């Protein structure tokens, strides 16, 4: 289930702090210790506005998937159809989603384009409207309506805790030992 955490920018700082604390301090049901996946789940977004789009919602999904989502801009749904926002950034723990999952797999449509973004490996899909990049122990997925916007948003990514600034190199992906460089989960 996707749970909206906030849809008003004026409470964004409080929500981002609470979300960060929830991700770092979540306790597993079994032993009272924080989940290993959540301990290393830093959050990245593109600030309160990116490429002319305001941050309109922060979501957290914890059912069949485990990620945080930052939604930018609004869309107007037609009478019988929904619509996608102009841009979204999803932050996944690398153990749940990483570029290694695509090894030897050909997704539908045009082949993925391998590129480097801010010093880390990335794949562009769907004519550049979806970018997946690995940094540290997470995968950032950027969705936008054009390739140019997708890349501008990737350039604006920043760590919510302030440790990584927009435009600066991103931390190198954390790699496992002895698994061909795959993420060590």
Lowest mean pLDDT among 27-41, 43-57, 154-168: 27-41
What does pTM read for this prediction?
Answer: 0.74
| 131/123 Cα distance (integer angstroms) | 6
- Angle at the Cα of 169 (from 182 to 111), degrees rounded to 5? 50
Q: At 52, is the pLDDT very low, low, confident or very high (cuts 50, 70, 90)?
A: very high
Rounded CA separation 111/123 (Å)? 10
Q: Which CA distances in Å does 40 have to 76, 89, 90?
A: 36, 18, 16
Residue 11 pLDDT greater than 80, yes or no: no
The mean-pLDDT minimum among 100-104, 125-129, 145-149, 180-184 falls in 180-184
9 by Cβ neighbours in 10 Å (0-12 / 13-18 / 19+) ranks as middle
């Amino acid at each position: 289930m996707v749970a909206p955490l906030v849809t008003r920018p004026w409470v964004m700082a409080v929500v981002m702090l609470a979300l960060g604390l929830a991700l770092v301090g979540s306790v597993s049901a079994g032993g009272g210790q924080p989940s290993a996946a959540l301990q290393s789940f830093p959050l990245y977004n593109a600030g309160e506005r990116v490429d002319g789009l305001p941050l309109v919602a922060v979501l957290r999904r914890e059912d069949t998937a485990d990620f945080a989502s930052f939604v930018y801009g609004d869309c107007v749904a037609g009478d019988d159809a929904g619509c996608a926002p102009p841009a979204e950034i999803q932050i996944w723990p690398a153990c749940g989603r990483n570029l290694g999952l695509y090894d030897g797999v050909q997704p539908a449509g045009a082949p993925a384009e391998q590129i480097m973004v801010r010093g880390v490996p990335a794949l562009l899909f769907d004519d550049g409207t979806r970018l997946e990049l690995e940094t540290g122990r997470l995968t950032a997925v950027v969705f936008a309506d054009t390739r140019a916007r997708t890349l501008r948003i990737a350039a604006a990514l920043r760590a919510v805790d302030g440790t990584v600034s927009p435009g600066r190199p991103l931390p190198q992906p954390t790699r496992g030992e002895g698994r061909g460089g795959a993420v060590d989960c």
